[in-house]
Structure 1
Amino acid sequence: MKRRTFLSRAGVGVAGLTALTGCMGGSSDPDGGTMTSETGGKTGTASSSGGTLTVATYSSFTGEDTAGNWLKSTFESERSDVTVEFQTPDSGVNQYIQRKFQGAPIDADLFVGLNTGELVRVDQQLDDRLFAAASERVEGADSVKPSLQFDPNGRVIPYDTGYISLVYDEGAVDEPQTFDSLLEPAYEDGLIVQNAQQSDPGRAFLLWSIKQQGTDGYLDYWQQLVDNGVQILSDWEPAYQAYMNEEAPMVVSYSTDQVYYHGEGVDMSRHQIGFLDDQGYANPEGMAQFADAENPELAREFMSFVLTDEAQAEIAVRNVQFPAVEGVEPGGTFGKYALEPPEAVTFSYEELSGNVGGWIEEWARQIASN
């Protein structure tokens, strides 16, 4: 849920605000792109495989008070001969797909922030391996919730998950109960969504609608949404800004919304969570070691660290996502305000493989281009 920068600019006045979202808000489809890096010092005790660990991730995973910064500083403090360096390519995993295709060096050891659809894209566009099978050699990988596992080949290890839901203003509309209810006159001009070509939450909401309406019916359903005045904006940030500007009483967002928006002075009525058909779309984030990693052992050590109970609790709070490891309960503000849907739904790797690109292209051609 790459949205921290926006919330900081918006001046969110929330008690105990330490969170960063991590998986579903940013653009991940453009090819190419530039890369920035952040390098820090090292302190602490020795490691069995020292050196520099280069971690590719999304920009909002790094920086002050973020999950990435906490992981970096804590991991380095425990290993005096290790430095963690972040790379934040504008186009996400697409940059590494392109470099691999061109035979260029990957120049990273680990990718953090991969979802199911992106892994499908990797496998469809590349004949050579981009990621190595590492789960059997990562301590703690067997403690990840089975429902979150999405790579049949054991390359990607989930480290957190979020649930797409609606956020709505209960002072303006009644909670919509189902996908079909969004087509009713009561919700005319009432919903803001994100473009599935550019946005993780937009793509997840589209996939959720396909789960409900079927592959033969989802385009007709979306045409009815358009006829009922749905507003499609490019990404999570402009969509949520439009919602905060009261351009509509509902927006596609995350079921952890109240973790940000609670406390004195916050109108909680504008931050209610709506689970259509008593569901939320699960979009787990994973980490994977690059097959060409210069320091694969250190990459696996870092992945094991990410799966410890302490790290999982910190990631949940700072990334505003649910832990991937069984039995980890962050508690506190997160435990009070983070809501899980009665039923989590998602498409598997096998279901998306060979299909997701076509679904999005058909949606873009018929819906987004109009």
Structure 2
Amino acid sequence: MIIRTRRTLATVAAVGLLPALAACSGSEAPGESGGSSTDGELSGTVTLVTHDSFALSDGLLESFESKTGLQVEHVAAGDAGTLVNQLVLTQDSPLGDVVYGVDNTFASRAVEAGVFEPYTPTDLDPSVTAQAEPGLVALTPIDRGDVCLNVDTAWFEDAGIQPPATFEDLTEEEYADLTVVTNPATSSPGFAFLLATVSAFGEDGWQDYWAELADNGLRVTDGWSDAYYVDFSGGGEGGERPIVLSYATSPAATVTEDGSASTTAALLDTCFRQVEYAGVLAGSDNPDGARALVDFLTSGPVQADVPGSMYMYPADESVELPTEWEQFAPLAEEPHEVAAEEIAAHRDEWIEQWTATVIG
């Protein structure tokens, strides 16, 4: 097993760093989807705390400010794990008013610590409310995506080797020294992939699987950026490993110029469904503004902008998706799942066991 530590640039929803697809247009005005917006009665500054990969198209936040009279300040706090740690450590003096980017792999820790003031916008599409897991009802789903292995199909074609398709394939000799993943202790996608293996192999089998991966030349990095852009041969920057941990949407960013094919593919049997949330921070200086901003993040224009700006699926399943996504970025039909309460109960234990097994 090879492990390399690098400075993490952005490890959650980091596919927002990939070339953006054109976002679809939405018909709903910002702020109209929720129940807290009070036009003409809001004022002051509302501080939005996010992970490093938050992005919206130019003009969207400005339209919210114009409509509500609020001024939005944006604070990027690192990857999802760092973000949650900061929220917990600063809960008596919150970093801001509203947070976006905590996901179902880390959110339970912040909820248990009392970081959030419960709030749910009104008039959400049923598909959005259906994604709010028990134990995370204080938060509002904003987007979703599948964390899974990706392969450089062009590399495998040139090498005359059949690409892997399953978890088990990666332990075979023909795939030795070909895989790079991210550390679950420092990376939300990395922890999501660990959870996928817990789901696939059970609590009695996942450690043995990781031991086999490590013995087969697995490389581990701290963050998605390094894994995808530095080590992955399909990332466009000279990497040498054709198997990488990324997202099911990533192949939509490696489509050929004529749009007929992608040079990478996602292994949909290895996916874990990640949901990213927004929430009002307890102790907010501007709770009304915070609730209005959560409403805005669930509005039609923002939900339609999510695929192109952050390369995630919008939580609102009624939103039209870019045409390329049906062919090149489908979600897994049966993603691996671990309940939020199980994650909360075993997170630290599983990470410690993974570290002992893979890093030693």
Q: Which position in structure 2 is the counterpart of 1:159?
A: 142
Q: Deviations over 1:174-222 (max 9, x none)?
A: 2323211222222122211111111111111111011001111111111
Counterpart of 1:273, as a letter, is A
Give the counterpart of 2:185 among 186, 192, 197: 197
Alpha-carbon contact 2:15-2:250 (below 8 Å) kept: no
CA-CA distance at 1:297 after TM superposition = 1.7
Q: Which position in structure 1 is the counterpart of 2:300?
A: 309
> What is the 5 A alignment of 1:217-236?
217-236=205-224
Counterpart of 2:89, as a letter, is Q
Q: Compared with structure 1, are the counterparts of its residues 139 and 132 closer, same or farther at alpha carbon in structure 2 (3 Å cutoff)?
A: same
Give me the TM-score of the superposition, normalised by structure 2. 0.81
> What is the 5 A alignment of 1:44-55?
46-55=39-48
Alpha-carbon contact 1:283-1:346 (below 8 Å) kept: no
* Structure 2 residue 186 is the aligned partner of structure 1 residue 213: no
* Structure 2 residue 126 is the aligned partner of structure 1 residue 133: no
Give me the TM-score of the superposition, normalised by structure 1. 0.79
Q: Which position in structure 2 is the counterpart of 1:169?
A: 152
> What is the 5 A alignment of 1:263-282?
263-264=256-257, 270-276=263-269, 280-282=271-273
* Structure 2 residue 240 is the aligned partner of structure 1 residue 247: yes
Give me the whole-angstrom Cα distance separating, in 2, the residues matched to 1:142 and 1:4: 25
Give the counterpart of 1:94 among 69, 72, 85: 85
Counterpart of 1:78, as a letter, is K
Give me the whole-angstrom Cα distance separating, in 2, the residues matched to 1:323 and 1:266: 23
Q: Which position in structure 2 is the counterpart of 1:73?
A: 62
Give me the whole-angstrom Cα distance separating, in 1, the residues matched to 2:134 and 2:22: 31
Give me the whole-angstrom Cα distance separating, in 1, the residues matched to 2:96 and 2:295: 18
Q: Deviations over 1:88-119 (max 9, x none)?
A: 2243121121122xx4x214110110112322
Q: Compared with structure 1, are the counterparts of its residues 140 and 335 closer, same or farther at alpha carbon in structure 2 (3 Å cutoff)?
A: farther
Unaligned runs of 5+ in 1: 8-13, 20-44
Give me the whole-angstrom Cα distance separating, in 2, the residues matched to 1:205 and 1:147: 23
Q: Which position in structure 1 is the counterpart of 2:4?
A: none
CA-CA distance at 1:368 after TM superposition = 2.2
Q: Give the superposed CA RMSD.
A: 2.5
Structure with more relative contact order (C-alpha pairs < 8 Å, separation 6 or more)? 2
Counterpart of 1:175, as a letter, is P
Unaligned runs of 5+ in 2: 1-11, 24-37
Give me the whole-angstrom Cα distance separating, in 1, the residues matched to 2:250 and 2:166: 20
Q: Deviations over 1:120-171 (max 9, x none)?
A: 22245x3xx2101111xx1234534355212525211110011012211224
Between the aligned residues of both structures, percent identity stands at 27
Q: Compared with structure 1, are the counterparts of its residues 335 and 72 closer, same or farther at alpha carbon in structure 2 (3 Å cutoff)?
A: farther
Q: How many residue pairs are counted as aligned between the two chains? A: 322
Counterpart of 2:312, as a letter, is Q
Give me the whole-angstrom Cα distance separating, in 1, the residues matched to 2:136 and 2:247: 29
Q: Compared with structure 1, are the counterparts of its residues 153 and 363 closer, same or farther at alpha carbon in structure 2 (3 Å cutoff)?
A: closer
Q: Report SS of the residue matched to 2:271.
A: strand
Q: Report SS of the residue matched to 2:53.
A: helix
Alpha-carbon contact 2:97-2:280 (below 8 Å) kept: yes
Q: Which position in structure 1 is the counterpart of 2:329?
A: 338
Q: Deviations over 1:220-266 (max 9, x none)?
A: 11111111111112211111121133422211111111232224289
Give me the whole-angstrom Cα distance separating, in 2, the residues matched to 1:290 and 1:68: 25
CA-CA distance at 1:332 after TM superposition = 3.6
Q: Which position in structure 1 is the counterpart of 2:169?
A: 181
> What is the 5 A alignment of 1:22-61?
46-61=39-54
Q: Which position in structure 2 is the counterpart of 1:41?
A: none
* Structure 2 residue 344 is the aligned partner of structure 1 residue 353: yes
Q: Compared with structure 1, are the counterparts of its residues 174 and 117 closer, same or farther at alpha carbon in structure 2 (3 Å cutoff)?
A: same
Alpha-carbon contact 2:144-2:273 (below 8 Å) kept: yes
CA-CA distance at 1:301 after TM superposition = 1.6
The range that moved more, 89-98 or 160-169, is 89-98
Q: Which position in structure 1 is the counterpart of 2:317?
A: 326
Alpha-carbon contact 1:329-1:335 (below 8 Å) kept: no
Q: Compared with structure 1, are the counterparts of its residues 139 and 231 closer, same or farther at alpha carbon in structure 2 (3 Å cutoff)?
A: same
Q: Which position in structure 1 is the counterpart of 2:132?
A: 149
Q: Which position in structure 1 is the counterpart of 2:34?
A: none
Q: Deviations over 1:15-63 (max 9, x none)?
A: x6568xxxxxxxxxxxxxxxxxxxxxxxxx95432221111112331xx
Give me the whole-angstrom Cα distance separating, in 1, the residues matched to 2:211 and 2:167: 13
